[in-house]
Amino acid sequence: MQVQIKVVEDDGNTTLTDLYRWFRQDDDLRRHAEVRLRPPRQTGGFMGALEVIDLVLSQGFAAANLALAYAAWRAGRPAAPPVTITIDGVSVTVRDGSEESVRQIVELLRSRND
């Protein structure tokens, strides 16, 4: 499954680069996902974004793992701008690391994995 993540507000890619580094240091993500930072595709609502995080998740990857990695990153960055996660053209924008945000991420991943 391919997942794309972008920061809603342009902050010079500071937030996106920080999240990318966090994901690259997460042992579970590294074990079950390929994590890349790349220019956005010109389709799917990413025009104008400077870069996106591109995750390719393996079949054994649990949906909650990405959501929990995001929530852990967000816990130390409560003022970071919203992040949009897109799979197969379906997106969710999360603004914090709350239970509701984690639930939204998990539901998106599970709905696209069925």
pLDDT band at residue 83 using 50, 70 and 90 as cut-offs: very high
Q: pTM of the predicted model, to two decimals?
A: 0.84
- Per-residue pLDDT band for 44 (boundaries 50, 70, 90) equals low
As a whole number, the mean pLDDT across the chain is 86
- Residue 79 C-alpha from the chain's centroid: 17
State mean pLDDT over 72-83.
92
In 3D space, the residue among 98, 75, 81 whose CA is nearest the CA of residue 5 turns out to be 81
Distance between start and end Cα atoms, the chain:
11
83-87 and 2-7: which strand pairing?
antiparallel
